[in-house]
A and B are shown apart, each in its own frame.
Chain A
Amino acid sequence: MSVAVEGELGFARTRSAHWAPALATLFALLLVAATAEIVIDGSLGHSALIPKSPVIAGWLQGIGERLGYRVFLIAILVFSAAYAGLLALLRSSAGAVISKRWAIVLVGALHVIVFAGPILLSTDVFSYIAYARMGVEHGINPYLHGPIAIVNDPVFQYVGSDWRHVATAYGPLYTLISYPLAPLGLVGAIWGMKLEALLASAGTLALTWRCARERELNPITALLVVGANPLYVIYGLGGAHNDLIMLLLMMAAVSLTFAGRDASAAAAVVAGALVKATVGVLLPFMVLARRSLAPVLGAVAALALGLLVGYAVFGIHGIDIIAALNRDAAFVSTDSFANEIAHLFGKPGVFPVDHDLLKAALVLIVLHLLWRTWRGYDWVAASGWTLLAISVTSTWLLAWYILWPLPLAVVVRDRRLLAATLFVQALFIIHQTAPLFAPVQ
């Protein structure tokens, strides 16, 4: 390299370093402003984007206007652009200006804003509460009946119409975690669910930080990639989804493996699967990579305990997770890639044969990843690829499903996983934008 070129590069670096703090501040302000816009406007309710809910964020009313598709989509696009800018800054040498304290304050601010606001974009939290109230207040097994069984309960009117006849698909551990919130009343239970999601997110981020440091990766980048992610903040945290509890247990498992505590790690995976079964896919990769008896014993012990408790409290239906998975796998959402590809080939939607083809593709991907893990490929990355493949091949795709591989993607050295996860998330957001071009009133 010539002296002149070195000099130019050095000048460019100095210039970018000079602008980096201002850019970082600008991106942070945009993230906070976009989040605040959605939360404040959402607090007014009466929007297709905000589920019908008891008023829980009344103090924010009167500041904004009713949240419409146009404002929401512009806010989410601004959030995504600022997030992309922040990641670009972190990748460049100028990213060094972002300190640990700055990153934690930004992620904390986003969390506090969302926590203070209404439930965003999903009625799922009302299903969680309905299942809890069925068990605690009405003595009805939520694994046998849908919320329709408590039609006179105050929560019933808020449960999504598609889910009123559907028994819970969540694991017995999650149902038990939600039970203490049932006696708090509807508003108390909503705040309890929001607090659970907030704490689970904080724990996930702390463990992601620790795992990144263990792997000698930049923990600040890991924190911001996950904690300032638009789908994570607005959809995951905003909807108080129990996926955050699953992610907490998933990252606990990864962290425990890094500490050499394989039995506890496998037990954490099983606990995660008893919240939401999907995370169970980590187990074969962990066992294959560690090749010791400890994770097998840990998993068997945790599974035996979980199934025993689940059976004692909920009966045989409480531990029949496979039946619930098969039922949900048959659903089709408009945002699923399977549906989009069907439209691309001129079909009106997904047919039963497509379900079989997608399952076959997923099996092939998992077998390939197991083979690579056997040959020494990072089991954490293989697990992340599997979670991404599950969300992409699922006919029932929701925003928070594409979050599953994200914390794993920032603690592995195969950067393709992070690139692929963010690419899929970007496509999901792009798919939401049709109302911007032709807004239906």
Chain B
Amino acid sequence: MTEAATGAERTPGGRLPGWLRPRDHELTGSGRTRLVETTLLVLAGLLLAIATINDVVRQTHVNQRLIADERTWRAYTGHDYHNLSIDQQLLGESSRREVICGNTSPGAPMERTQLCLEIWGPTVDGRREVHGGWYLRAKIEDDVRADRYGCFGPAPQGMCPG
């Protein structure tokens, strides 16, 4: 079985020696190559499929955790706001510890002073435990140490300036 181009295309190279001329058909022995290629393709496909499914499951668990974080922020602050930002990297991406920030009064995202909470631990009744937090001035997009104030609770030691 050949996978070479069909004869529909005009082939140049008529003056070249035989071994250099463009080929109408693939050289013999390609059947075994094809078998090896197909086997490798199936194995690679299997790896990609397993990795994808694993990642969907992982992401679903992360989302469930983030839902609990949002519920925790709303219950802690008493504000039923939905525009909350969650930082998974500040406390370590694989730590399952998150910092979640939201406005302290009604307004567009980050338009008001923000309250940030450090949250981790198991989910109990759809919520997780708050271990401390800090405030951020309005319109601060990047939560950096210099912009934090009013740190509270045991966890954020060293997270605020001064």
- Determine which of A216, A340, A341, A376 lies in contact with B25 in the assembled complex, contact meaning CB atoms within 8 Å: A376
Q: Chain B interface mostly helix, strand, loop or mixed?
A: helix
Report whether B12 and A378 are in contact in the complex, using a CB–CB cutoff of 8 Å: no
Query: Inside 8 A of A215's CB, which chain B residues have their CB?
Result: 5-6, 8
A376–B61 Cα distance when bound, in Å, is 49
Q: Are B63 and A413 in contact (CB under 8 A)?
A: no
- Judged by a CB distance under 8 angstroms, whether B146 is at the interface is no
Bin chain B's interface residue count.
35 or more
Whether A348 pairs with B53 at a CB distance below 8 angstroms is no
Query: Who on chain A is nearest to B93 by CB?
Result: A348
Contact of B55 among A216, A258, A340 (CB under 8 A): A340
With A291-B21, A376-B2, A377-B30 as contacts: A423 and B45 at CB distance below 8 Å: yes
Q: Tell me, yes or no, whether A257 is within 8 Å of chain B by CB.
A: yes
**A258:B8 contact, CB within 8 angstroms:** yes
- Flag whether A439 is at the interface (Cβ < 8 A): yes
Q: Does A329 contact B (CB under 8 A)?
A: no
- Which residues on the B side are within 8 Å of A437 (C-beta)? 56, 60, 63
Query: Which of A214, A292, A348, A431 has a CB less than 8 Å from the CB of B94?
Result: A348
Q: How many A-B residue pairs have CB under 8 A?
A: 124
For chain A, give the interface size range: 35 or more
Measured between beta carbons, the chain B residues less than 8 angstroms from A348 are 93-94
User: How far apart sit A206 and B71, CA to CA, in the bound complex (Å)?
Assistant: 52
Contact check, A349 vs B60: say whether CB atoms are below 8 A apart.
no
Does B90 have its Cβ within 8 Å of any Cβ on chain A?
no
Q: Which A residues are in CB contact (< 8 Å) with B30?
A: 372, 375, 377
Partner of A341, one of B4, B24, B37, B47: B47
A438:B51 contact, CB within 8 angstroms: no
Q: Which residue on B lies nearest to A260, using beta carbons? A: B10
Proximity bits, A282-293, B CB within 8 Å = 1, else 0: 000000011110
Contacts of B56 in A (CB 8 A): 430-431, 433-434, 437
Whether B38 lies near A416 (C-beta < 8 A) is yes
CB closest residue in chain A, given B27: A375
Q: Are A343 and B4 in contact (CB under 8 A)?
A: no
**Cα–Cα, bound, A386→B56 (Å):** 27
